[in-house]
A = this chain, B = another copy of it.
Amino acid sequence: MKFIKTPVKGMCDMLPGDMRLREHVLGMIKKTYGSYGFMQIETPVMEHIENLTSKQGGDNEKLIFKVMKRGADLQRALQKGDGELADNGLRYDLTVPLARYYANNKEQLPAPFKALQIGSVWRADNPQKGRFRQFTQCDIDILGDESNLAEIELISATASMLTRIFAEINVTDFTIHINDRQLLGAVALSAGFTQEQVGSVLISLDKFDKIGLDGIEKELLQNGYDAAVVENYLRVYRGVRPGISIAEFCAGIDRARLPQEAADNLAQIIECVRPMLSRGVKLVFDPTLVRGMGYYTGPIFEVTMDGYGFSIAGGGRYDRMIGRFSGQDVCASGFSIGFERIVTILKDHMQGGYRRKEEAVAYLIGGKVPQARRMQVLADAARLREAGAIATVLPMNKNIRHQIERLEAEGYNRFEKVFE
């Protein structure tokens, strides 16, 4: 019999210390979003293969773990030769399942609906350091709210959640960047790009952090765009100073092209959210923020922390996406929390790992301890548990020093040796 000890390639066994940290973070996520009225939901990890391959998932559709048909269905598909062998697949994100869930259960849910989803997703990516084939995603979405209350609640809830979590490692500073897809489009159009060119231009602008405006200029010219149009375009961004206001930035856009409503909307969101932020948390208008996915339609936002080259959360309004999927138009805005990234940052800052604060007592019982004494110890342990402590009753090992070391590593801080 062949037995393989290691987990499937690209996937992890979670040790107790990992789990304590993850559960602690999940607890704070659920509690904070819960207090804002987000309701936890869950969908099966498997989705119909048709839904997963409907071309809304972008490159992720190439990375699906497919689940094979069974029994007669499988035989039929195999005989056909070119038949689809899979009927299901593991979800690669929580957005496709949310669209299906909402279409399926809408009648039973409040409107607007504030959803919290926490769950594993799977991608048959090439495993790399810090990139796994099974990982946890955490999404909040507000469906059916076309007002900017959606963005206000999404951003202030997320800021509150991150503030709580990072307080544990004495990190109080992070930055929420906000922009609007309509503004991004208006700048490009007002510079002289056509509507069809906007998508490609934004792909270049998205590289601002990596290649700067000079790099973007080079790339746009290489892509064959008119030098005068490119210059018009970049002039707007060259004028951007840190802390620029929306009004100042909009002054650089052709008035006829300016989506005044979107600009006012963005200003209103910022005005509402800022007073609710803790010290150290910045909410800044960032005219170069693009967010990769093509489905965003309005405000977009992203959270960064100094010293980390990745964002720790990102999202935006995607009013037409669920409708394209399910055939029922629903406005929507969401924030995806980089759970694994947050855990990584916490681990970086916690030498020796995350430790719970409870008293944790291990009773180590020698081999010849009589029954009456054992019963006494069990009663002592029960009393400690009743009082909120952790208590474990274990047989004493021959190598007691090693046993205690291991238990200390798992957070035990008191040891009672019980001999005959």
| A interface, CB within 8 angstroms of B | 1-8, 11-16, 19-20, 23, 30, 34-37, 39-48, 50-51, 54-55, 65-68, 70, 85-86, 88, 90, 100-101, 103-105, 108-112, 114, 120, 122, 124, 134, 145-147, 149, 152-153, 156, 160, 268, 271-272, 275-276, 325-327, 360, 362, 365, 371, 374-375, 378-379, 382, 385, 388-395, 397, 403, 406-407, 409-410
Contact = CB atoms under 8 A, between A and B. Distances in A.
A111 B403 contact: yes
Contact of A109 (B68, B371, B406): B406
B23 A40 contact: yes
A41 B55 contact: no
Contacts of A145: 394-395
Nearest to A108: B15
A326 B2 CA distance: 9
A101 B13 CA distance: 7
Contacts of A388: 35
B152 A378 contact: yes
A323 B362 CA distance: 27
B35 A385 contact: yes
B3 A395 contact: no
A19 B40 contact: yes
B152 A13 contact: no
A34 B108 contact: no
Contacts of A1: 54-55
Contacts of A90: 67
A417 B134 CA distance: 44
A246 to B, nearest CB: 15
A105 B68 CA distance: 31
B134 A7 contact: no
A37 B388 CA distance: 12
Contacts of A326: 3, 5
Contacts of A55: 1
A3 to B, nearest CB: 6
A393 to B, nearest CB: 6
B16 A41 contact: yes
A23 B267 CA distance: 38
Contacts of A147: 395
A41 B66 contact: no
A7 B390 contact: no
B65 A66 contact: no
Nearest to A157: B385
Chain A to chain B: the 7 pairs with minimum beta-carbon distance, closest first = A37-B392, A11-B44, A16-B39, A14-B42, A110-B406, A35-B385, A19-B40
A276 B394 contact: no
Contact of A14 (B37, B41, B410): B41
6 contacts: A8-B44, A67-B67, A68-B85, A112-B394, A112-B395, A268-B371
B19 A375 contact: no
Contact of A19 (B12, B16, B41, B108): B41
Given A43-B7, A68-B67, A272-B374, A389 B35 contact: yes
Contact of A37 (B37, B362, B379): B362
Contacts of A8: 44, 46-48, 88
B271 A371 contact: yes
A218 to B, nearest CB: 35
A9 to B, nearest CB: 9
A70 B9 CA distance: 13
Determine which residue in A46, A55, A153 has the highest number of CB atoms from chain B within 10 A of its CB, and name it.
A46
Contact of A7 (B41, B44, B86): B44
Given A1-B55, A145-B394, A272 B371 contact: yes
Nearest to A1: B54
A89 to B, nearest CB: 9
B3 A406 contact: no
A50 B4 contact: yes
B4 A48 contact: yes
